[in-house]
Structure 1
Amino acid sequence: MQGHDHGLHRDLKAMSCEMLARRRALAFLASAGTAVTAAACGGGSSGASSAASATSSSSTSSSTGSSSSSSSSSSSSASSSTGSCVADPTETNGPYPADGTNSSSGSTSNVLIQSGIVRSDIRSSFIGSTTVADGLQFDLELQLAGVNTGCAPIEGAAIYIWHCDAGGRYSLYSSGVTTESYLRGVQVTDSDGKVTFTTIYPACYSGRWPHIHFEVFLDGLTAASTGRTADLISQLAMPAATNTAVFSGDTRYTASIANYNAISLSSDNVFGDNTSAQISQMTPTLSGSVAAGYAGSALIGIAA
């Protein structure tokens, strides 16, 4: 699918994100009371209100239905405070990135230059369709930190995430969803280095541990024109106890059960060679339940 060259620039103007080009103004970020207008670029879309609502309901239900899910990722170092971090390892962007580095149906697929890719709620398609991906709601907060600067938050970086749907399919590539573009989106980090996404919980397909792909562009939206310009390409590993709860408790994920029982983090061809510290950081901390949905956070460390 060929994109045009002006879509991303329209998003840039619409969101007034040019002001965030100062991506490494860490001295400014470290000062007290840095409430900058860039916060709007960290979570802006119509999905923000639904994400906040889901987070609230998840927190309410977590005391009764998700103690095992929360404890499953208690070892994760992800938090809203960046006291310590490690550099996330570079991982493959896989065969389905739609970032201009490979082809789909015989043409280059690059959502990064499409108008509409900058969004917080990524559950719906935005290219030629408005189909919403069916699945259990998952609100994800990511925080970007520089490991060479005492884990200080990095403002103004663009983060692109994508993952499979509840059936294990990737939009634009997999049979049955080649005309869909859901579960893909870009956000720009705010003064705390944070972005938020509203999405669904990813399935487990054959041969892979449940995961979410991401790419980091330190120079922001202007650099996010292709995966070849990414400063970091990596993945998040979904927590084990939550995987079990979702796949066994939500009938939309029934096909994931056998696939999940046949894989482990150590046997996964992406996560298997990572250190325990890396895996801990790459695993989001989650709260919530199958009944109410989940909310989670993860820290991304980058050598910047």
Structure 2
Amino acid sequence: MHVKHLLQAPLLLAALAAAHPGHEEKLATRDLLEYKAHLRRGLTNCAASFESTGLTARAIARRAQITADYRLKHALAKAKSKRDTDDVLDTSHLSSENYTLSTDESEIFGTSTSTCVLNPEGETGPFWVNGELIRTDILEDEPGVPVVLEFQFVDVSTCEPLVDIYADTWSCNATGVYSGVQGNGNGDSSDDSILSETFLRGVGKTDEEGVVTFNTLFPGHYSGRTTHHHIVVHLDATVLSNNTLTGGSVPHIGQLFWDQDLIYKVEETEPYSTNTVTITTNEEDRVFGDETSGTTSDPVLNYVYLGDSLEDGLLAWVTVAVDLSAEYDPAYSYVWTEDGSEAVSGHSDDSVNGGGGGSGDFPGGSEGPGGFGAPTGAPTDVPTDVATSTASSGISLA
């Protein structure tokens, strides 16, 4: 089945509300419900395959090694998972408090495969900068709780790892500000120096296990959205000389979340606690509800502590089941250039449903988060030194 969702194209310099725009209610279409059922069947079939091919065992060993590397400085503690909106909200993704440094890694990581599907209604959002640099260490000097974030991508049809694909991730900093974009609802809207910033943005290539790992930050919050990470996957893309991507297609788009109790704990620490904006919870967040209702999807990250406190950092992981037959065209209003981010006319062809916007100063504000539409080729309004793609980028998560 070749799935395409069309979203209305963003308008340049339309309005964006202080709340994250484009998260108004939308109804699930018959195509979307059928798509969820298709992914649910495919993922169920993958469970035994992950065990028989050794994918699960290798994932356990890999995550254990990452944790072992941090044990010189940090102590260990926790991880777990589950499904459907109420179940996900009621499930702790942190391991038991009884785990210690002497606990066997297979016990810690083996209980939490968290293999779910992030469905494509997890729209792109207005803060994606198209053509970002290929790099996995994206923390820069941002203060807060550091996170080692591991994505593993598998083909939902074959259950095999997806090798040499590119994952594009971005999130806000501890006080709810995104780098590379300017406008109301994103820090000081009069400060254009943010356009030259690149913190918490990057693109990474998967290895032979379908894995890419980012050094990033636990995000803060801003008006209208719960704490989350964005991710988009590029398939068959080409690396340009300026270390960005071009070409390829987008099989999926998604967003990832954290346990609500962990969010509250993080928000009590500096500099998160300096943010006076009211917290939107997972339960209140429409995108969280979209990605967890009526599916087997659990888009909440599994995690362990890497030290004695949150400030020492977290290791988080998720398995991403991608439907390679799907194809999307994520909207964007900024592109990366050698001089920093540059605003462009919002790109998304033939759009109708599912990602739309609000008001404010972001290019594309009236359509805001964009989302996805049928790819039709590289946009003509993007500078030639910017990495863009025929279908730009896309992702599927678990």
Identify the TM-score tier after normalising by the shorter chain.
Answer: 0.5 to 0.7
1:198 lines up with 2:209 in the alignment: no
Determine the structure 2 residue equivalent to 1:246. Answer: 266
Determine the structure 1 residue equivalent to 2:77. Answer: 62
Mapping 1:128-147, distance limit 5 Å: 132-147=141-156
User: Which of 135, 146, 156 lines up with 1:119 in the alignment?
Assistant: 135
Tell me the SS of whatever aligns to 2:195.
coil
The answer (yes or no) to whether the contact 1:82–1:145 under 8 Å persists in 2 is no
Tell me the SS of whatever aligns to 1:72.
coil
Tell me the SS of whatever aligns to 1:299.
strand
1:72 lines up with 2:92 in the alignment: yes
CA displacement at 1:267 relative to structure 2 = 2.3
Output the CA distance in 2 between the equivalents of 1:159 and 1:134.
Answer: 24
Residue 173 of structure 1 aligns with an amino acid whose one-letter code is V
Mapping 1:183-262, distance limit 5 Å: 183-222=200-239, 225=245, 229-248=249-268, 250-256=269-275, 259-260=278-279
Residue 88 of structure 1 aligns with an amino acid whose one-letter code is L
CA displacement at 1:93 relative to structure 2 = 1.0
The answer (yes or no) to whether the contact 1:216–1:231 under 8 Å persists in 2 is yes
Residue 71 of structure 2 aligns with an amino acid whose one-letter code is S
Residue 118 of structure 1 aligns with an amino acid whose one-letter code is I
* Pairs aligned (count): 227
Write out per-residue CA displacement over residues 106-159 of structure 1, whole angstroms, 9 at most, x where no aligned residue. Answer: xxxx42xxxxx11121022xxxxxxx222221110000011111x321111100
The answer (yes or no) to whether the contact 1:143–1:194 under 8 Å persists in 2 is yes
1:153 lines up with 2:184 in the alignment: no
Residue 171 of structure 2 aligns with an amino acid whose one-letter code is H
Tell me the SS of whatever aligns to 2:119.
coil
More deviation in 184-193 or 236-245? 236-245
Computing the radius of gyration from Cα coordinates, the structure with the larger value is: 2
The answer (yes or no) to whether the contact 2:146–2:311 under 8 Å persists in 1 is no
Structure 1: unaligned runs, 5 residues or longer: 1-29, 34-50, 100-109, 112-116, 125-131
Output the CA distance in 2 between the equivalents of 1:158 and 1:83.
Answer: 22
Write out per-residue CA displacement over residues 50-85 of structure 1, whole angstroms, 9 at most, x where no aligned residue. Answer: x8787436861427xx99xxx72159xxx7899884
Residue 235 of structure 1 aligns with an amino acid whose one-letter code is Q
User: Which of 319, 325, 342 lines up with 1:299 in the alignment?
Assistant: 319
Write out per-residue CA displacement over residues 163-187 of structure 1, whole angstroms, 9 at most, x where no aligned residue. Answer: 0011100101143423211111111
The answer (yes or no) to whether the contact 1:155–1:191 under 8 Å persists in 2 is yes
1:268 lines up with 2:277 in the alignment: no
User: Which of 68, 88, 92 lines up with 2:123 in the alignment?
Assistant: 92
Output the CA distance in 2 between the equivalents of 1:202 and 1:239.
Answer: 13
Residue 140 of structure 1 aligns with an amino acid whose one-letter code is L
The answer (yes or no) to whether the contact 1:204–1:210 under 8 Å persists in 2 is yes
Output the CA distance in 2 between the equivalents of 1:209 and 1:228.
Answer: 31
Determine the structure 1 residue equivalent to 2:170. Answer: 162
Residue 266 of structure 2 aligns with an amino acid whose one-letter code is V
Structure 2: unaligned runs, 5 residues or longer: 1-51, 56-65, 81-90, 96-108, 183-187, 325-398
Residue 167 of structure 1 aligns with an amino acid whose one-letter code is T
More deviation in 274-283 or 134-143? 274-283
More deviation in 83-92 or 287-296? 83-92
Output the CA distance in 2 between the equivalents of 1:135 and 1:83.
Answer: 27
Output the CA distance in 2 between the equivalents of 1:58 and 1:285.
Answer: 21
Residue 157 of structure 2 aligns with an amino acid whose one-letter code is N
CA displacement at 1:218 relative to structure 2 = 2.2
The answer (yes or no) to whether the contact 2:94–2:304 under 8 Å persists in 1 is no
Output the CA distance in 1 between the equivalents of 2:232 and 2:206.
Answer: 13
Q: TM-score, normalised by structure 2?
A: 0.49
Residue 162 of structure 1 aligns with an amino acid whose one-letter code is W
